[in-house]
A and B are shown apart, each in its own frame.
Chain A
Amino acid sequence: MPITKVRPHLSPNESLLFERSSPGKKAYQLPELDVPAVDAADALGADNVRAEIDGFPEVSEVEAIRHFTRLSTWNYAIDYGMYPLGSCTMKYNPRINELVARTEGLAWAHPYQPEALAQGSMEVMARVEAALAEITGMDAVTLQPAAGAHGELTGILLIRALLEKRGNPRKKILIPDSAHGTNPATAAIAGYAVENIKSSETGVLDVGALEHLVTGDVAALMVTNPNTLGVFEENIIRVAEILHAKGAMLYMDGANMNALVGIARPGDFGVDVMHLNLHKTFSTPHGGGGPGAGPVAVKKVLEPFLPTPRLKRSGKRWTYDYKRKQSIGRVKAYYGNFGVLVRALAYILAHGGPGLRNATVDAVLNAVYIRKGLEPYYDLPYRAPNMHEVVFSDERQAKLGVRTGDIAKRLIDYGFHPYTVSFPLIVHGALMIEPTETEGKREIDQFIDAMISIAKEAETDPQMVKGAPYGTRTSKVDEVTAARKPVLRWKP
C-alpha cells in the first residue's frame, strides 16, 4: 500500500545557537535607565561580580526566530496529526485555552498580592476544585501538585498521614505489575516498600489473590482504572471492600480518566484518593514534556491532611486557611500550576457536563474501532472489552524478526506518531494505542490502513521495516552511544 498521508518536504538545517553566535550581535533592547547607574563592584563586592558568561548566545532577532522556527519543524505534533500514545491522552489542545491563560490580570498576578486583589484567581481555583470534585465523585480537591507523579506523592503522603493518626502508618503499598513506573517510585519516596501484584489471566486484578495479600501491613493499593490495558477493573467495588475491611486505602491513578468522565466516578466505586492529569484528560498542552498539573481528589476522611493553604469562603470573599494542624504541609510553593488550571477550566466550560461525557464516548468508540480494524493483523493478548485504549502485542511480527519498536518507527514513515512502545510490561512486545476523541474517522482509517500495511510489510520485507524510519530528516538515532559516552552540553 502506498504512503498517502505524507511526502518529502524541504527541511532546513540549523546549527546550535552557540555555533551561529557572533560577538556583538543582539536581539534585545532595554529602555534608558531612569535612575543613576550603580557600580556593580561597589554594590555587590568586587569578588561577587562575574566576568562575561563564556559561550552565551549572541544572535540577532531574525536569527533567533529563524533558529527556533527551523527547530520546531523537526518535531511531530498533535497539530500535524494523530498522536496515538497509549496512556498519554494526546488530545487536541484548544487555542482558546492559550488565549485565556494569557489574560493580563491572570497571567501577571503575583502569588503574594493581597487576597482582596486576587479574588478572580481564587474564584477560578475554587471553580476548578468544584468541577473536579463533581467529575470524580470525591469530596475535596487540592490543586497544588505540579504533575501526575507529584499528585501521586501527595496522595500517598495523605494516606500515610491518616494511617499515622490512626496509630500505624503501615509498611507497604501494593502495586499491580501493569502500573506506570511512577507508582512504585512514588511509594518509595513516601517511605513505603512496594509489593508488586500479578494481574489475572484476563488482565485485571485477581480478587482471590488480593484477599491474601491485604494484611495489616498494607497501607494502600495503587490502581489505574481503567488499567493500562484499557480494561475496566470490573471488581473494583469488591477490591475497595477488601482493602477497607483491613483498614487499608484505595489509591487511583487517574491517568486513564478520559475513559470515565461522565460515565463512572471513582468516588462512587470506593476510591479514597486519586490524582488527575490535567494535561491528559483536560486538554492542557503537553508542551514537549510539561508543564502539567496533578490535582488530588480525596474523600472527606482525608481532607484534614490536604496541603496548606486551603481555599476557604469567608462571607463574600475567598481567603486562604493556613492553620491546618494535620496537613501534610506543602508539596510546592504557592498554590499550584495556576496557568494550567485556567486552561483546564476553559476546557470544562467549553464542553459542559454533556460535552465532557460525549468526549468520553467518542474516545472509547475510536479505540474500539481501532481494535476491530487491527485485530485480524495483530495479536490481542487480553480479550476483555477495552475502553479508551487498546493493547496489542508484536507476537506475530516478532516471529518474522520485526518487533514493536520497529513497527513504531515504520509508522513514522506513514505520517503518524508511534503508539506507546513496550508498555505495559505485562504484555510482551506491547503496542499501546490511544486515539482519544480528537480523531475523526478519516484520520483513524488512515492509521488503521498504515498499521495493516506495515503488518504486510513485516511479512514481505521484514528487513525494510527494521531499517525504518526512512522519511525523516534524522534517521535511526544511536541511543546506546548517547548513554555510554554522555555529551550533555555543547562545548567549543
Chain B
Amino acid sequence: MLDACGVSSPEDLFSHLPEAVRLGRPLNLAPGVSEYEIVDYFRDRAAENANGYASFLGAGVYHHYRPVLVDTVVSRGEFLTSYTPYQAEIAQGTLTTIFEFQTMICQLTGMDVANASMYDGSTAVPEAAMMAVRATGKGRVLIAKSVHPEYREVLRTYARNQGMPVEEFGYVPEAGTIDLEDLDRKIDGLTGAVIVQSPNFFGIVDRVKAAAEIAHRAGALLVVLFTEAVSLGILEPAAGADIVAGELQSFAISPCYGGPYAGIIATREKFLRQVPGRLVGQTTDSRGNRAFCLTLATREQHIRREKATSNICTNQALIALMATVFMTVYGKQGLRELAEQNLAKAHYLASKLRPRFCGKFFNEFVVKVEGKTPDEMNKALLKKKIIGGLPLGRFYPELADSMLLCATEMSRRADMDAVAEVLA
C-alpha cells in the first residue's frame, strides 16, 4: 500500500504538515492493554461505586426494571453500528423503528407529531422554549420553580444570548402545585412560552389545565414537561399543552450516572414546521411499497445553516430504540400495570411517612425530616445499605429540612419499611 501511495514509510504521509504543528514525542498515555485488563479496570471502578444498595432516589432518573429484550435488540450490530439513516434504501430498519417511536410518543402524549428524539429531557426544554418563541414571535419565557432545577439551569444557559428573558413563578407551599396567581401576575403580552412539569419535581400531578388557560389567554404557548415517563401509563395526557417535552430514561434506559438518555418533543400539527431535530416520514419506493425516510429537512442545520430551527444534528436513535422496545414489551396493558405498581409502592411508603405537600402524587413525594437533617438521615440509612431520598436544600433553600423520595416497581417492601423506621 505504501508503494501505491508513493511513499516509503508511513511517516511520509505526514511530511506536508509544518514542522511546528507536529507533536515531536509520543503521547503521554500508557501502552494498550488486553481485553481482560479493560474488564478488570472497569470492574474495579464499579466496585468503588454503590453496590448492593436499595435506592429511593428519583428526581428525574428512575430505577425501573429493564426487560431483557431491550439489550438483545440494541446489541444487534445492524442497529448498533449503523449511521443516521440518510440512505433510506439500506436503513429501513432504523427508519421503521423511528416511525414506530414517533407514533407511540404521539399515542402516549396525545399530541399529533413527535420528533425522532432529543439528547435528553433537559436539553428538550430550551428547544421547546425556542420553538414556542418562534411560533408566537414573543420572546419572554416563564418557567415554574417546580420544574427540575437542572433543567431550569440548562434553559438559562441557552436563553441568555437569544433575547429570551426567562423568569420563574412559584409553587403553593401547602400543595406543591404551581402558584397560578403568581403565574397570572407575571404573564404579559410579551410572554411566548409558559413551562410547567407534571408530575413536577416534587412528584405532584400539577395543574396543567389551569396553566394552559392562563397561558392561552395571554397568547403564549404552554410547554408541559415530564421526567417520569412511566406516569404516562396512567395519567391523562396534558390537557391544553401546545408542546410536550420530556425524558424517556424510565423506559429501559440505564441510569448510567446521568446519560446517555433520550428526550422527546411532541406538538400539535400546526407547529410542525417549528419542530427541531430529525423527523421520519412515510412514503413509497419506486415499486410502490411502503417505505420511510428522513423528511422536512429544510428545518435543519445541514440545509438551513444559521437559519435552522436548532443546531441539533443527530437524535438519540439507539436510546430511542431502547424506549421503543420497552413500549412494545409492556404494551397497552403492561404500561398501565407498571404505572399502577409504581403508584401502589409509592403510596405504601408515603402511608408510613407524612408527605409535606397535599397535592396528588405518582411515585415520588417530599417528606419533611424531623429532628435531624436530611443528610444525617441518609447517613443512617446508608448503614442499612439504603440510599435515601434527595436532600432538597441544594435546589430549594426553603426546603432544606426535606427530601424527595421515590419508589418504583423495584422497591421492596422490607426496604420501604426500613426507610419508614428511620425517617418516621
Contacts and interface: CB of A to CB of B under 8 A. Distances in A.
Interface in A412-439: 412, 417-418, 423
B14 A364 contact: yes
A49 interface: yes
A38 B256 contact: no
Nearest to B22: A264
A83 to B, nearest CB: 7
Contacts of A201: none
Contacts of B26: 262, 353-354, 357
A189 B103 CA distance: 29
A110 B234 contact: no
Contacts of A24: 333
A203 interface: no
Given A121-B49, A333-B150, A353-B26, A68 B325 contact: yes
A134 B28 contact: yes
Given A43-B347, A264-B21, A365-B5, A109 B49 contact: yes
Interface in A54-104: 54-59, 61, 64-65, 67-69, 71-80, 83, 85, 88, 90, 92-93, 96, 98-104
B281 A152 contact: no
B396 interface: no
Interface string B16-28: 1110111100111
A194 B301 CA distance: 13
Interface string B63-95: 100010101111111111111110111111110
Nearest to A193: B306
B70 to A, nearest CB: 10
A2 interface: no
Contact of A112 (B57, B307, B310, B312): B57
Interface in A383-398: 384-385, 387
A84 B7 CA distance: 23
B341 A285 contact: no
Q: What range describes how many residues of B lie at the interface? A: 35 or more
B186 to A, nearest CB: 22
* Listed residue (B237, B256, B308) with the most chain A CB atoms within 10 angstroms of its CB: B256
Contacts of A373: 4
B397 interface: no
Given A16-B103, A37-B340, A287-B318, 11 more contacts: A73-B78, A105-B47, A106-B45, A110-B255, A153-B311, A182-B301, A287-B81, A288-B84, A361-B10, A365-B2, A486-B281
Contact of A134 (B27, B60, B160, B312): B27
A447 to B, nearest CB: 13
Interface in A9-51: 14, 16-18, 21, 24-28, 30-31, 33-38, 40, 43-45, 47-50
Given A111-B61, A474-B89, A181 B279 contact: no
Nearest to A368: B5
A135 B76 CA distance: 31
A109 B255 contact: yes
Given A48-B360, A488-B281, A349 B38 contact: yes
Given A234-B18, A287-B317, A59 B331 contact: yes
Interface residues of A, number: 186
A239 to B, nearest CB: 11
B258 interface: yes
Interface in A109-124: 109-114, 117-121, 123-124
A285 to B, nearest CB: 5
B320 to A, nearest CB: 8
Contact of A475 (B281, B286, B317): B286
A96 B41 CA distance: 12
B215 interface: no
A333 to B, nearest CB: 4
Given A185-B308, A333-B148, A40 B61 contact: no
27 contacts: A38-B348, A43-B343, A44-B360, A68-B73, A75-B94, A77-B80, A77-B82, A105-B48, A109-B49, A110-B257, A112-B59, A146-B120, A146-B259, A148-B313, A150-B312, A181-B304, A187-B306, A232-B21, A234-B17, A263-B22, A334-B61, A337-B260, A354-B32, A365-B5, A409-B87, A476-B89, A490-B99
A296 to B, nearest CB: 13
Nearest to A55: B107
Interface in B150-164: 150-151, 153-154, 156-158, 160-163
* Most interface-central of B28, B306, B378 (chain A CB within 10 A): B306
